[in-house]
Amino acid sequence: MKKSSIRTFLIFGLLLALLARQPVFAAETMPASEEKQTEEAAVTTSEESSTKEELNTQVKQDSFSESTEVKEKTAKEKKKQKDKKKKEKKRNIEAPEETVKKAPVMVPEVKKQLQKELKELNSERSSLVHAQEIHKAITKLYRKLEIISAQEALPLEVLLTGVKKENTTAADYNVNQELSAVAVLEKGTLDTYLKDYTFGTQGSMSVLNAVKEDQVIQLKPYLDQQLKETGQSLKKRKKRQKKLEQQIIEKEKEIANLKADKDRVFSPTNLLEPSNLSVPEIQDMLKGTALEEQASAFYKCEQEYGVNAVAVMGIAIHESAWGTSRRAREDNNLTGYGVTSDSAKGINANTKEQNLLMTAKLLKEKYLVPEGIYYWKTPSLIGVNYHYCVGDEWAAAVTNYGYQLMEKLK
């Protein structure tokens, strides 16, 4: 082969190789409508993808936010508990812890006093009941005498005019019998009159003119006065009677609960240990102070809520300066209940007794039992001090007042 032919062949082969390496283009162009649909589909796919990404991002953010809130709340609670413990650790509350016990030497004297008080209460109640019975009897008497008055054509005053029996020939049994029914209840003046005088038609004006003045008596003014006295303030009388009946029940319980075989106790480390004191013993311990009249209230604090009466007395003494403080006098607040500062109004009551019972209830439910919100380690005065008072000396002061009270007990 000639050299020129070979050269031509090589050049032709090189050109073919170069053509093979060029990109291949589509033979036909895509229609406009299909191209638009393709673009819209691409946009939709892009938007859906974007929305999913945004939702995923929002979920992640919400989850992160909730997680952060929980963490922050947990952190705050931990900090609160830590601060509380830190605060408690910083306090230096100290107080005597010795328990004081005394034999019940006053019991015979107390029992005698309580029985006397019970007798007086029963006597007053009987008087009220008796007065009501007399009032009813006189009212009934007047109704019957009005019937007799109409039958005999004589005024009521004449029927109730008595003539000495030696000046009459016979008794008017109708009137005298009705008067006797009242006399049985009245048991006094009226009974004496019936023994010496005859009442009814025997006391007519013709008879009255024939006898001396000292042989005649007019009974109606006396009965009117009795009716008035026994009928005054019936509502008030019934209210008093109801109160007396309640007091009688309470006094009978006091006598039954004298606990003659138990020591009188004050334990500053266990305020739920009963003192076993009676009202007269508490009165003796508070004698001469402004708190003496609240003896029955201190007794109820122990009976109703199980809080040692000496401890409640100690709190009242400390918080109210033996019942003489302004809050005690003006607000009936003897225990500093709800008083967090000098300017605080406090949680007051209508009576001092109510304040004491409210305090005993608060102590029992929130301070002296493990499930109580303010319970601290033991049902002691030191434990109560941690949340009842900001001062660290409170428990010691109350304890010492308790000791003073026990010294006064016979």
- Per-residue confidence (pLDDT) for residue 206, from 0 to 100: 46
- pLDDT, one tens digit per residue, over 249-300 is 999 999 999 999 999 999 999 999 999 999 999 999 999 999 999 999 999 9
Report, as an integer, the average pLDDT of 341-351.
78
Q: How confident is the model at residue 191 (pLDDT cuts 50, 70, 90)?
A: confident
Domain of residue 203: give its range: 118-234
Q: Which residues contact 346 (CB under 8 A, 6 or more apart)?
A: 327, 331, 333, 336, 337, 338, 339
Q: d(Cα 317, Cα 307) in Å, to the nearest integer? A: 16
Residues 226 and 327 in one domain: no
- As a whole number, mean pLDDT of residues 303-322 equals 97
Do the domain assignments include residue 243? no
Q: Does 208 lie in the same domain as 312?
A: no
In this structure, the answer to whether residues 132 and 178 fall within a common structural domain is: yes
Q: How confident is the model at residue 46, as a pLDDT?
A: 54
- Is residue 199 over pLDDT 60? yes
Tell me the CATH number at 359: 1.10.530.10
DSSP symbol at 25: P
Q: First CA to last CA across the chain, in angstroms?
A: 153
- Verdict on whether the full-model pTM lies above 0.85: no
Both tokens of 48, joined, read 């859906």
Residues 272 and 385 in one domain: yes
User: Does 401 score more than 90 pLDDT?
Assistant: yes
Joined tokens for residue 334? 């003897």
- Exposed e or buried b per residue across 299-315, where buried means at least 16 C-beta atoms within 10 angstroms of its C-beta: bbbbbebebbbbbbbbb
Is the torsion defined by CA of 237, 243, 249, 250 positive or negative? negative
- Residue 269 sits in the same domain as residue 402: yes
| Per-residue model confidence as pLDDT tens digits over 148-161 | 888 888 888 888 88
Whether residue 270 is found in the same domain as residue 230:
no
How many Å apart are CA 299 and CA 288, to the nearest integer? 18
Cα separation, 307 vs 156, whole angstroms: 65
The confidence score (pLDDT) of residue 25 equals: 42
The set of residues, in sequence order, having a beta carbon less than 8 Å from that of 298 and lying 6+ positions away, is 282, 309, 312, 313, 316, 356
164 CB neighbour count, 10 Å cutoff: 15
Specify the pLDDT at position 143: 92
Q: 382 and 301, same structural domain?
A: yes
Beta-bridged to residue 198, according to DSSP, are 163
CA distances from 400 to 95, 312, 367 (A): 9, 13, 20
Within-domain flag for 288: yes
Q: How big is the chain by its Cα radius of gyration, in Å?
A: 50
Report the C-alpha gap between 323 and 291 in whole angstroms: 6
Domain stop point among 218, 234, 250: 234
Backbone angles phi, psi at 164, to 5 degrees: -50, 140
Domain-located, residue 7: no
Burial class (CB in 10 A: 0-12, 13-18, 19+), 257: exposed
Q: Which amino acid is at 157?
A: E
State pLDDT tens for residues 94-123.
999 999 999 999 999 999 999 999 999 999
State the Cα angle at 132 between 126 and 138, rounded to 5°.
Answer: 130
Residues 297 and 222 in one domain: no
Please indicate, yes or no, whether residues 267 and 223 belong to a single structural domain of this protein: no
Q: Does residue 230 form part of some domain?
A: yes
> Do the domain assignments include residue 102?
no
Q: How many domains does the chain have?
A: 2
Average pLDDT over residues 123-131: 91
- Give the pair of three-digit tokens for residue 367: 């301070």
Q: Do residues 206 and 182 make contact, with C-beta atoms less than 8 angstroms apart?
A: no
User: Do 272 and 401 fall into the same domain?
Assistant: yes
Q: Is residue 81 part of a domain?
A: no
Question: Is 39 part of a structural domain of the chain?
Answer: no
pLDDT in tens, 382-398: 999 999 998 999 999 99
Give dist(CA 340, CA 388) in Å, integer. Answer: 9
pLDDT tier at 77, thresholds 50, 70, 90: confident
Task: Specify the 3-state DSSP secondary structure of 393.
Answer: coil
Indicate if 124 and 186 belong to the same structural domain.
yes
Structural tokens at position 266: 């004050």
State residue 184's pLDDT score: 79
Tell me how far apart the alpha carbons of residues 268 and 99 are, in angstroms, rounded to a whole number: 7
pLDDT value at position 89? 58
Quick check: is 173 in a domain? yes
Looking at the structure, do residues 281 and 227 belong to the same domain, yes or no? no
Cβ-based neighbour number of residue 396 at 10 Å: 19
- What is the per-residue pLDDT across 347-381, written as a single tens digit (0 to 9) for each? 889 999 999 999 999 999 999 999 999 999 999 99
Please tell me the chain's helix, strand, coil percentages from 3-state DSSP, rounded to the nearest 5: 65, 5, 30
